[in-house]
Structure 1
Amino acid sequence: MPDAQNPDTPARTLLLVDGSSYLYRAFFAGGEAMSTTLPDGTVLKTGAIRIMINMMQKLRKDVRADYAACVFDAKGPTFRDALYPEYKANRSPMPDDLRAQIAPIHEVVKLLGWKVLDVPGVEADDVIGTLAHVAAQQGIECIISSGDKDLSQLVNEHITVIDTMNDRRRDIAGVTAEFGVPPSLMLDYQTLVGDQVDNVPGVPKVGPKTAVKWLTEYGSLEALVARAGEIKGAAGENLRNALDWLPRGRELLTIKTDCDLKDHIDGLPSLEAIAILGQDTEALKVFGETYGFKGLVKSLSQQDVPPELIKEHQGKAGGKPADGAPGLFDEPDLSGSAQRTTNLKYDTILTWAMFDDWLARLQTAGLVALDTETTSLDEMRAEIVGISFSVMPGEAAYIPLRHTGPDAPEQLPLDDVLAKLKPWLEDPEKLKLGQHIKYDRHVFANHGIEVKGYAHDTMLQSYVLEVHKPHGLASLAERHLGRQGINYEDLCGKGAHQIPFAQVDVAKAAEYSCEDSDQTLDVHLALWPQLEADEKLRFIYELEIASSEALYRIERNGVLIDAPTLSRQSNELGQRIVALEQEAYEIAGQPFNLGSPKQLGEIFFDKLGLPVIKKTATGARSTDEEVLEKLAEDYPLPAKILEHRSLSKLKGTYTDKLAQMALPRTGRVHTHYAQAVAVTGRLSSNDPNLQNIPIRTPEGRRVREAFVAAPGNVIASADYSQIELRIMAHISEDAALLRAFHDGLDVHRATAAEVFGLEPAQVSSEQRRYAKVINFGLIYGMGTFGLAKALGIDNTAAKNYIARYFERFEGVKRYMDETRQRAKEVGYIETVFGRRLVLPDIKNAKGAKLAALERQAINAPMQGTAADLIKLSMVAVQTALDEQRRSTKMIMQVHDELVFEVPEDEVDWLKSEIPHLMAGVAALRVPLLAEVGVGPNWDQAH
């Protein structure tokens, strides 16, 4: 607001950052793979430092402020610990890797121009509350950047809280809309519901819905307490039983606004001592050198260049901030334009002189687009035919190495070329870019080269930015550049007449491959600024890049297959399949083709008189899977048909084929993990598909017996326990779910106790089964009809169960309602970590289609967050294996499970370390739990 003394004076602004919230977010937002060796020889993780700097720079750019401070929690107890010894007793200790980064984070935040505060004996929230109050009293606008909802109690006409990670603005209207009460009642609201995270009890079994209802009706907590005798039922009794506790709970939850900060900020109540400053460029350069941030040093050095030259360069590259302020990890220099140039310069390298010229260009380039042409799409078998590079838009080169056509020119020797390229390819400081880089990693590895320095993948950039669109290079180039390139089939033909790439004319091959590298660089220049500008999407992209590295290692390791075991299983399955055919013939009274819908229809409906469940679009009587399952509930023949189909598929897909798919030189199966397929972020396994082994049947589970370890090793399986329910508890903030997980309860038994109004010990096994179906069903958006079918009950009973569930789990109901609404408003939803899951049709959908999309919107954040977590785990585990030089190998990722081949002398380490690593990749409102099993094969490791 304008200054009261001079209405024409622009409003002054104080920007306060909840530093403790920021550093935890920075740590758990990834970057775990980043580390550096300090001058004293200490190895330090630096991911949190890096991300913290980016967050602070972006905030300063986005929010104009006159005064600013970044506030951290200081070491040691506060008055709350004395008031209530159990305060924050549930919180896990700070990870050692984060603790080691706190001092450098404080240092670099100061160097960036912020006042850093950590006041002994005072929590960061109280320092923020005091400074916000001081500013508001002087008519200074205060913006608090934090994800902590507790700070909502400070909001008034002068104080606003922003949550940059979730695009949330908590002003007066925002708080009221989000919580159902205005900021003036937030403390009363918090006192009633309690704070699970800080271990501050509220009124037992009183959730947000009840708290809002009471405060709306009575106007305040004080008035409610005065009339507590009027509240009926169990809720009223619980309130009356909590009356003695509520004053202490309220005191614990109250953010202080009167802390004595004069020893820490000179001249209070004047805020001049925290006036925002410019960054200390020279000191930042030293900091960057010390902690291995070469991008920081380079970007700061560019500030010594005349501003007009920087502006000119940025206009070409299109990747710098519009205001010219370089960021810590800005893209290396690239000349040229993201627009399509018309003067293409593509070279074909056939002489050592030309090769040396291009190698020199590669050595000095900031970023190089790299592409291979190969003999196969199977990355474990593919060999190089040629290699192309692009170092600036419109310029590229192709090295033909194995072309054999009748007019093929003399080419440089493959082994000699790779030997000369190997130092550059394996140099992590030489940054590289590709389209589907995991494939090219394998191709080079097949020639004994471990490529390092892959910084970007245009396929993954598209996957993060536009998950619902195609991610192939041709689609990307046409969509983002307006370019149409040469089609592979135009060069090589189709089907049986398709020729190997090695037989393509070298001139045409060079144009094709150079175009691929050139377009990849161009697409990167179009997509990267979009990712760079969005903190959450940039984190997801960096996670995908790190996951690509981990997946490459998993694919490369492969899993050993026991062929004799598979052969024995195939024989047994074959005998059972033949027996099932004979049993089906006997029931039908005649032989028939079990795979013929026409013959099935005749046997079922004409001969045996089974009821017609539904018809096909053409009016024929359907015998599809759904019909068979329904009929199998009452009739033996459909059940035999289903079992026959299941075993035939198992035999044909797995027991007959797995051993044949093993790579001869390794004896192992090397599946391919596709990253850019599922909209939720989950991985897709194929050739072979290891995620679809039907483990619900004994025969399916036995297939895992054939996944074995090499001599001297065992198989270990580590998976998250009830991960999607834990994510639901975190996202919904439902008090009952949070309590169940924090107390280590059987969550299905706890749910049954709530739904059926019993003590947990009184819950029967059948009631627990019902609760389990409800828990998992609601995660997948199950409605009344679906629940009735799953439990074998009528719709009325199912409807009553759901109603009782939502009465007891108000947070889950609120989450579902809010998610449906938000998805319809913006067309997407997000995971906990910011992955954007697009539902492009939901805004205009109606009826059954809308219901299906709403179910998808409810479930996708759980599946997507679980996918993010397992990727974070893969990266953390692979980093630990490398840093500790363990011989343990990660060999599979299946849903929420990581599978390892472990030397016998590392089993104890793995049992201890892997669950710790997996549980520590994120700080949710409930603890993550990972469990490990060990055995001679994959089946016995469960």
Structure 2
Amino acid sequence: MAKLILIDGSSYLYRAFHALPPLSNAQGEPTGALFGVVNMLRSTLKAKPDYLAFVSDASGPTFRNALYDQYKANRPPMPDDLRAQIEPMLAIVGALGFPILRVPGVEADDVIGTLATQAHALGIEVLISTGDKDLAQLVRPGIDLINTMTNTTTDTAGVMEKFGVKPEQIIDYLSLTGDTVDNVPGVTKCGPKTAAKWLAEYGTLDGVMAHADKIGGKIGEYLREALPRLPLSRELVTIKLDVPLDQSVTELTQRDRHLEQLRELFTRYEFKAALKDLDAEAATAGAPPTPAQPPADAASVPAERTPSSLAPPNESLSAPGSYELVTTQAQFDHWLQQLQTAELIAFDTETTGIDAMQADIVGLSFAVEIGKACYIPLAHDYPGAPAQLARDQVLAALKPIFEDASKPKLGQHAKYDINILSHYGIRVQGLKHDSMLESYVWNATATRHDMDSLAKKYLGYETIKFEQVAGKGAKQISFSQVDLDTACRYAAEDADITLRLHHALWPLLESVPPLRKVYEDIEIPVVPVLAGMEQHGVLIDVTTLRLQSQQLGKRMLELQQQAWGLAGREFNLDSPKQLQAILFDELNLPVKLKTPTGQPSTNEEALEAIADAHELPRVILDYRGLAKLRSTYTDKLPGMVNPRTGRVHTSYHQGAVATGRISSSDPNLQNIPVRTEEGRRIRQAFVAPAGWQVMAADYSQIELRIMAHLSGDEGLLRAFHEGGDVHRATAAEVFGLPPEQVTTNQRRAAKAINFGLMYGMSAFGLARQLGVDRGEASDYMARYFARYPGVHAFMEATRTQAHRDGYVETIFGRRLYLENLTSRNQAHRAGAERAAVNAPMQGSAADIIKRAMIAVADWLKGRDDARMLMQVHDELVFEVREDAIDIVRSAVIERMSGAATLAVPLLVEAGVGANWDEAH
């Protein structure tokens, strides 16, 4: 069937302008939107459509302006940077051979609608390239939408899934919701869900209007109030399908391209990839290649800013694989021999669940050569499942290989597989690589680091998803019930793709020695340390937690009574709607923050903002804090005790936080509050067995010490070297007093500045934290920078470097890329600059504690008198036998203090007690 591609040029120019950074060429001409559109056009040509057209809005008013003089009246004028790119865009479009249609008096949508309808009548398949929701009304069998920015196609089912209505109901849907961008009036407060609900019930806009008197509540009033204007709204959003055109569909073929004009335009705007394509064609045709070329497509952005912008993947890394299902001894022996001699073994486990401490193994997959892998099923138990090799026999044969440190191994999130194999007495040694961590170290923010995302980004490969083989939701089956052939395709692909990802990512890391060092010296060695901590788990006192739950419940009831008294009536403290009515309608408190729908917010930030105006917001905040403690910890932790071990086993995540910090989940140990008495009491339930003690070793003010090291500020360095109270010393400097004369409030102000600066705190933020006016806070900060000029210079230099390179680095060379540094949104840009200043401190602290964990774990090898249990922020928690406390404490402090050499001492404080709270 012939195909017509219609490109909504106006939509894509605007979307590319706002989606891409403000790029420019060497002459300072803006190129960002142009760059996005040109790439989309080149992609369209590669699809080789039979017919095609580039449709753009003509200048001047349209018939809709005559219908409604306020149509699009609220739209701001086109930005100058965007306006400057229109003519170059049309020049390139024409030079590429696209027919260009700009029809006065109508919009691009109307031209697209007319052409799509004509083509459909001729039996031509239509693909509309757009990001405009209005065009969904054109969708039907044979007419689809494609969003080339997200590479997603929307057909009839897709419209239903996205909007909740059928394509033929889109006009009525848009009439009800209105359009703030185009200033189309709809029904006040009628959002997409309400519109879809009404149309599901009444079928059409006319049906909704006919039943308006049956719709209750405030929204019903809004609907009845809107009835006179809804016919106009429908006319405004309806795409014309009968625009008179000079060309028929079958005349819309690609014209001859003007290669010299393209070469001139691509050279001027510095589109290197597009020039490279022209050169390839020229070489094929025998023409001379383009002379000296600009350095990059994104001329104003150095290549190293965007390491995620990679060349197209090597074809061998994205080709289909060949996979073997291993069910006979002869097959297994063959693979065993390959594993014995392999230079690198990619391995993966399939299991009965995602909890590594409770799941059972179902099978194993291996790959030692790109494109070839095997799956060894061990425990598929569906009715009629073929015979499989004996699990214990296979694992016994593989154990020497897994435990041989001289045989390099590779995994994707290998810690999970290491934990699974530990259940069967296998202690994996020789983990050399992990593709998840290769991606994470290369660029932590470029993508998610799961296999599906990495394969798509770095290989251009679409993996088989778990839901495709096991189903999803309530109907999802265990992997043990998946048939062997399907399981083989899925599982063997995992091992194969892991190996392919390594071949794509490892050369990137090798090209940047500091990143390679972070990967080899920090991230890979800490994997078995975290695995060991997860396997051992931590002992908790369930009785203590249950008692705390009762006490929290009692205190919550007291706060509820107090809240009712302050409100003057009973209400549901957990209902934002009821709380909203009391705070803002009945008590008339000021609205400081609003929800995305324009309603007064009752979230934590909003309540904090009005806590000084009335006592009730503070009571609500206290109530919510206790409710969260109870639901997250005191009620939940007892149910998380593993029946196999009698302990709680958290999961640590290396690839989740951009700065390099480790996070944890199930339970999240990082979020147990330490600033409230109730939060600290939860730590009392983390206990040691009889004859053992809990030891907590914590870095003191590590990020501030890193700030002193990186800034080299003499005053800050002196404060740490003198070994006193650094906040008191800072206050003495700022206020020009002897340390002994510093007041409590002055020390508090200095502490707030010391820590606040690392997170980009403004004078306004400092004023709010200290409860002083903004002028006084500004004065504090001015004095601080006057006394610590090195800190100010470091912050400014870091911002400058971040804007220049697109990233900042930790002491050890880890990079954090900051995409929003070039954002047009001032708030996003300011946030990126704050992150740029903070990331070297937070990231260096993360690197240091990982190095400490590696050193301590190495010292603990072979000892049976101490175990590392938890890592929480800048703290390590241990179980230590009572007779070994002194030697273990001394060794841990020594290794934690020696994890980095800074310009100031790394101070470690270690306490011991019967529980975690006592150890502080």
Q: 1:768 and 2:747 equivalent?
A: yes
Q: 1:369 and 2:346 equivalent?
A: yes
CA contact (8 A) 1:672 1:686 kept: yes
Partners of 1:863 and 1:903 in 2: CA distance = 33
CA contact (8 A) 1:674 1:684 kept: yes
TM alignment of 1:340-351, pairs within 5 A: 340=317, 342=319, 344-351=321-328
Return the match for 1:753 from 712, 726, 732: 732
Partners of 2:463 and 2:803 in 1: CA distance = 37
Secondary structure of the equivalent of 1:890? strand
Structure 1 residues 782 and 459, CA gap change in structure 2 (3 angstroms): same
Partners of 1:849 and 1:397 in 2: CA distance = 47
Structure 1 residues 346 and 577, CA gap change in structure 2 (3 angstroms): same
Letter in 2 for 1:929: L
Return the match for 1:730 from 709, 733, 750: 709
Residue aligning to 1:520: 498
Partners of 2:562 and 2:647 in 1: CA distance = 38
TM alignment of 1:189-338, pairs within 5 A: none
TM alignment of 1:392-791, pairs within 5 A: 392-468=369-445, 469-542=447-520, 543-791=522-770
Letter in 2 for 1:461: E
Return the match for 2:333 from 356, 365, 368: 356
Partners of 1:672 and 1:618 in 2: CA distance = 36
For residues 104-145 of structure 1, the C-alpha deviation after alignment (integer angstroms, 9 at most, x for no partner) is xxxxxxxxxxxxxxxxxxxxxxxxxxxxxxxxxxxxxxxxxx
CA contact (8 A) 2:318 2:460 kept: no
For residues 192-238 of structure 1, the C-alpha deviation after alignment (integer angstroms, 9 at most, x for no partner) is xxxxxxxxxxxxxxxxxxxxxxxxxxxxxxxxxxxxxxxxxxxxxxx
Residue aligning to 1:146: none
Residue aligning to 2:368: 391
Letter in 2 for 1:733: G
Partners of 1:589 and 1:477 in 2: CA distance = 59
For residues 485-535 of structure 1, the C-alpha deviation after alignment (integer angstroms, 9 at most, x for no partner) is 211111111101111111111011111111111111111011111212322
Residue aligning to 2:906: 928
Cα offset, 1:338, TM superposition:
7.9
Residue aligning to 1:868: 847
Letter in 2 for 1:558: G
Partners of 1:558 and 1:906 in 2: CA distance = 20
Partners of 2:796 and 2:814 in 1: CA distance = 20
Over the matched positions of the two proteins, sequence identity in percent amounts to 56
Cα offset, 1:643, TM superposition:
1.1
Secondary structure of the equivalent of 1:388? strand
CA contact (8 A) 1:381 1:446 kept: no
Partners of 1:845 and 1:742 in 2: CA distance = 43
CA contact (8 A) 2:721 2:905 kept: yes
Secondary structure of the equivalent of 1:451? coil
Cα offset, 1:847, TM superposition:
2.0
Secondary structure of the equivalent of 2:822? coil
Letter in 2 for 1:701: R
Partners of 1:395 and 1:610 in 2: CA distance = 67
CA contact (8 A) 1:614 1:627 kept: yes
- Decide which moves more: 401-410 or 638-647: 401-410
Partners of 2:332 and 2:802 in 1: CA distance = 53
Structure 1 residues 525 and 612, CA gap change in structure 2 (3 angstroms): closer
Partners of 2:864 and 2:672 in 1: CA distance = 29
Cα offset, 1:342, TM superposition:
4.5
CA contact (8 A) 1:338 1:525 kept: no
CA contact (8 A) 1:752 1:770 kept: yes
Partners of 1:454 and 1:352 in 2: CA distance = 27
Partners of 2:748 and 2:903 in 1: CA distance = 26
CA contact (8 A) 1:338 1:522 kept: no
Q: 1:821 and 2:800 equivalent?
A: yes
CA contact (8 A) 2:693 2:915 kept: yes
Cα offset, 1:906, TM superposition:
0.9
Residue aligning to 1:296: none
Residue aligning to 2:887: 909
Partners of 1:343 and 1:471 in 2: CA distance = 22
Secondary structure of the equivalent of 1:470? coil
Return the match for 2:816 from 827, 837, 854: 837
Structure 1 residues 824 and 399, CA gap change in structure 2 (3 angstroms): same
For residues 307-339 of structure 1, the C-alpha deviation after alignment (integer angstroms, 9 at most, x for no partner) is xxxxxxxxxxxxxxxxxxxxxxxxxxxxxx882
Secondary structure of the equivalent of 1:616? coil
For residues 135-181 of structure 1, the C-alpha deviation after alignment (integer angstroms, 9 at most, x for no partner) is xxxxxxxxxxxxxxxxxxxxxxxxxxxxxxxxxxxxxxxxxxxxxxx
Secondary structure of the equivalent of 1:448? coil
For residues 705-735 of structure 1, the C-alpha deviation after alignment (integer angstroms, 9 at most, x for no partner) is 0000011100000010010110000010111
Letter in 2 for 1:827: G
Partners of 1:601 and 1:899 in 2: CA distance = 43
For residues 234-281 of structure 1, the C-alpha deviation after alignment (integer angstroms, 9 at most, x for no partner) is xxxxxxxxxxxxxxxxxxxxxxxxxxxxxxxxxxxxxxxxxxxxxxxx
Partners of 1:621 and 1:446 in 2: CA distance = 52
Residue aligning to 1:215: none
CA contact (8 A) 1:424 1:430 kept: yes
CA contact (8 A) 2:731 2:747 kept: yes
Partners of 1:341 and 1:841 in 2: CA distance = 31
Partners of 2:373 and 2:764 in 1: CA distance = 60
Partners of 2:456 and 2:628 in 1: CA distance = 40
Structure 1 residues 614 and 400, CA gap change in structure 2 (3 angstroms): closer
CA contact (8 A) 1:715 1:941 kept: yes
Partners of 1:472 and 1:371 in 2: CA distance = 14
Cα offset, 1:625, TM superposition:
1.4
**Structure 2 unaligned regions, length at least 5:** 1-313
Name the TM-score, length of structure 2 as normaliser: 0.65
Name the TM-score, length of structure 1 as normaliser: 0.63
Secondary structure of the equivalent of 1:410? coil
CA contact (8 A) 1:464 1:537 kept: yes
Cα offset, 1:845, TM superposition:
4.2
Partners of 2:750 and 2:579 in 1: CA distance = 38
For residues 800-858 of structure 1, the C-alpha deviation after alignment (integer angstroms, 9 at most, x for no partner) is 11111111101100011011111111111011111101101213445222211111111
TM alignment of 1:150-165, pairs within 5 A: none
The list of structure 1 runs, each at least 4 consecutive aligned residues, that deviate by more than 4 angstroms after superposition, is none
Return the match for 1:805 from 784, 787, 803: 784
Return the match for 1:378 from 355, 361, 381: 355
Residue aligning to 2:316: 339
Letter in 1 for 2:639: Q
Secondary structure of the equivalent of 1:740? helix
CA contact (8 A) 2:321 2:496 kept: no
Cα offset, 1:869, TM superposition:
0.6
Structure 1 residues 789 and 389, CA gap change in structure 2 (3 angstroms): same
